[in-house]
Amino acid sequence: MPSVIPKKVATKVLSKPQLSLAHLDLSFATIYRVEPMDRIKLIRDGIPARYINVISDSMGITKETLFKFLNLPKSTIDKKSVANQMLPIEQGERLIGMAKLVGQVESIVSESGNPEGFNAAKWVANWLEKPSPALGGEKPSAYLDTVSGQEMISDLLAKIQTGAYA
């Protein structure tokens, strides 16, 4: 599975004391695996608005779909992206939450099987739009606009990994 950055670079980034998305080259798996305190610092330091392009391109979905999933204001983020500005904390946190979900799936596949040829970002984009019996028939994407909803979806992915939900 090709990551946003090569594994060699991701390992180097993890060993740095300062975690940063300044160049938008932090892999999804790295965002998922990093300690919560480091992820909080990353969010507080600022998530570039243009990071939405990295996530939407990786997932094979439009920015508009990602705006809808995360309940993000399109015009504000587009303006901030053009001006190379950071997102407010709550918006950056939702965006990092999406990257974390993709990283979780990357990690699941690499731990559980052969990740070769598997595109976690595109799989997540597809899975988010399928109604889930575990969610009473709702689509997982309906819960991505809050941190608690993202945590619930993350828990569901973990249950799927263990076979609790098919």
Would you state the structure tokens that stand for residue 95, as one six-digit string? 């965006």
pLDDT tens figures, 56-98: 999 999 999 999 999 999 999 999 999 999 999 999 999 999 9
Which range among 25-29, 32-36, 140-144 shows the weakest confidence by mean pLDDT? Answer: 25-29
In the predicted structure, residue 16 carries a pLDDT above the cut 90: no
For the entire predicted model, the pTM comes to 0.84
Please, what sign has the CA dihedral across residues 34, 13, 83, 65? negative
**Cβ of 62: how many Cβ atoms within 10 Å?**
11
Closest residue by Cα to residue 1 from 93, 90, 105, 118: 118
- Mean pLDDT (whole number) for 116-127: 94
